[in-house]
Structure 1
Amino acid sequence: MDMGLSLKGRVAIVTGGAGGIGSATCRLLTERGAKVVVADLDGERAAALAADLPDALAVKVDLASEAEIENLFSKTLDAYGRLDILDNNAALLGADVVQADHDIANMTTELWDRTFAVNTRGTMLCCRNALKIMEKQGSGAIINTASNLALQGHVIQAAYSASKAAVLQMTRSIAASHGKRGIRCNSVLPGLTGTKAALADLPPRLRQIVEEETLTPYVGDPMDIAETVAFLASDAARSITGQMIVVDGGTSVHVPGFARFTEMIAGG
């Protein structure tokens, strides 16, 4: 392994760590040498994953609860005495939320507040706790998972995309305020990623549309996100901070109707 990519001796918290992207990230960070805290709302799944990793810790946490977030960081310090990496990967994406998150005209206040409570406020609280620890150490890396929807208008997921756009600005703010203290903060912006949760209820026609509008020959999978997080957490990325790394196969960078244009050109 390139020593610049090594995470040996470092301690990482991964929120949403028991999910598709989260579990892939936990495994990769462990392979690179980090000790990982698997933080997830599903305590049983988090415990099962931690038991399968060397020197890992599982903590059940609801990111809508400030007290539970503070408990997460307290348990991390009790177990390892430091924190080098925070991967804010968790988001409110339950089926009930996704089905109700449409346009602003039909948005309930309750859904908007629930989404921001986890995706934005929860991320802020995790960052705040991490920064207090990292400031004393004089080093640390925070990676906030946003979404390519934070860059695009859409007919649905108005609350989700707005909450993730706020995370982008939070990332820049932390990079600006704490860079001189040895702390870097970046955002990873996934597109549709091939997790079981993302694909389970996706209508075949919708998946076809996404595949057609993706510039790469494939839709990304959890390891694509995990590799990006591990890189940003490493010394190989020591001069990268305040940045948005979009990992969506190019779906957010092309002209509208890319797939139709491609068909027209191919057809002569």
Structure 2
Amino acid sequence: MTRVKDKVALITGGASGIGLATAQVLAKEGAKVVIADYNEEGAKEAAAQITSLGFDAVSIFLDAGSEESIKSAVDFTVEQYGGITVLFNNVGGTNLKKDIDVVNTDLEEWDRLMNLNLKSVLIGSRFAIPHMIEAGGGSIINTASMAGFAGDATRSAYGASKAGVINLTKYIATQYGKQNIRCNGVAPGLILTPAAKNNMSPELLDTFLRYNQLPYHGEPEDIANTVLFLASDESKFITGQTIQVEGGHYLSNPTIPDFRDMMNQG
């Protein structure tokens, strides 16, 4: 259990879902973990749960819409552990009532999501990179989304911001690779986080499953294990890539499920 031994990882949005699963996996594999989240009590509970198992974790409040708060999280990480070598930019969100089609999307919501989903990646990386250079290198992992690879009927701002994350990942990798800093992304499909389970109907979950190539949904641990790989030296020759962890949702001709239905009926 030493795949990221002695690495120092700051995880934004680490109190629940994908962030929490990643914090747990990285800690178990030897990393010193800082859990940063707007849910301050949730972050404290997550860190306490990890330390109760004998691993190393602390927490800090984070408002990912605030440059000052992001800087404070990076500074706190360095003060606690003497540096930072892994940054998981994981915060993101949308508002389905305001982030809709292009004609009707609320423009204030557009700006909020660009700030939360995209600018936070820029700011977190901006403050972490000098410390990584000082440490001799590091790995930045950004949470994108399958929404960044294709159009949708809604979530225009969310999709555009996540497409921006995918391209920003390439820019960071290009600009700082010679300083031994790698930057990669992970693009989840539908993942059965507590939020997804609580807010999505069985019918909607079944719709996603119909268009996956695998016969099951993703779990937070599926993303966490991908982040673990990208944080570890096992991926030392991989940079600028965004790995789609979405069950093959975009793999095939979109008519395949319909053809399967017709063949089964015949």
TM normalised by structure 1 equals 0.95
Q: Is the 8 A contact 2:27 2:56 kept in 1?
A: no
Range moving further from structure 2, 249-258 or 161-170:
249-258
Which residue does 1:258 correspond to in 2?
A: 256
1:169-227 deviations in Å (ceiling 9; x for gaps): 11000111111110000010000000110221213322111011110010100000000
Which residue does 2:172 correspond to in 1?
A: 174
Which residue does 2:215 correspond to in 1?
A: 217
The reply on whether 1:159 has 2:160 as its aligned counterpart is no
Instruction: Write the distance in 1 (CA, Å) between the matches of 2:199 and 2:49.
Output: 28
Which residue does 1:46 correspond to in 2?
A: 43
1:113 corresponds to which of 111, 114, 129: 111
The reply on whether 1:85 has 2:86 as its aligned counterpart is yes
One-letter code aligned to 1:105: V
1:109-151 deviations in Å (ceiling 9; x for gaps): 1110110111011111001111111111221000000001100
Which residue does 1:30 correspond to in 2?
A: 27
Q: Is the 8 A contact 2:6 2:31 kept in 1?
A: yes
Instruction: Write the distance in 2 (CA, Å) between the matches of 1:40 and 1:11.
Output: 17
Instruction: Write the distance in 2 (CA, Å) between the matches of 1:102 and 1:256.
Output: 23
Consecutive unaligned residues in structure 1, runs of 5 or more: none
- How many residue pairs were aligned? 262
The reply on whether 1:64 has 2:65 as its aligned counterpart is yes
Instruction: Write the distance in 2 (CA, Å) between the matches of 1:98 and 1:72.
Output: 29
Which residue does 1:103 correspond to in 2?
A: 101
Q: Is the 8 A contact 2:31 2:56 kept in 1?
A: no
One-letter code aligned to 2:120: G
One-letter code aligned to 2:243: I
Consecutive unaligned residues in structure 2, runs of 5 or more: none
Which residue does 1:245 correspond to in 2?
A: 243
Instruction: Write the distance in 1 (CA, Å) between the matches of 2:79 and 2:133.
Output: 18
Give the superposition deviation at 1:56.
1.0
Range moving further from structure 2, 52-61 or 116-125:
52-61
TM normalised by structure 2 equals 0.96
Give the superposition deviation at 1:101.
1.4
Instruction: Write the distance in 2 (CA, Å) between the matches of 1:266 and 1:184.
Output: 46
Which residue does 2:75 correspond to in 1?
A: 74
Q: Is the 8 A contact 2:12 2:19 kept in 1?
A: yes
1:15 corresponds to which of 12, 15, 39: 12
SS of the counterpart of 2:158? Answer: helix
Runs of 4 or more off by more than 2 Å in structure 1? 265-268
Give the superposition deviation at 1:90.
1.0
SS of the counterpart of 2:173? Answer: helix
CA RMSD of the aligned region, Å? Answer: 1.1
Instruction: Write the distance in 2 (CA, Å) between the matches of 1:15 and 1:265.
Output: 46
SS of the counterpart of 2:152? Answer: coil
Give the superposition deviation at 1:265.
2.3
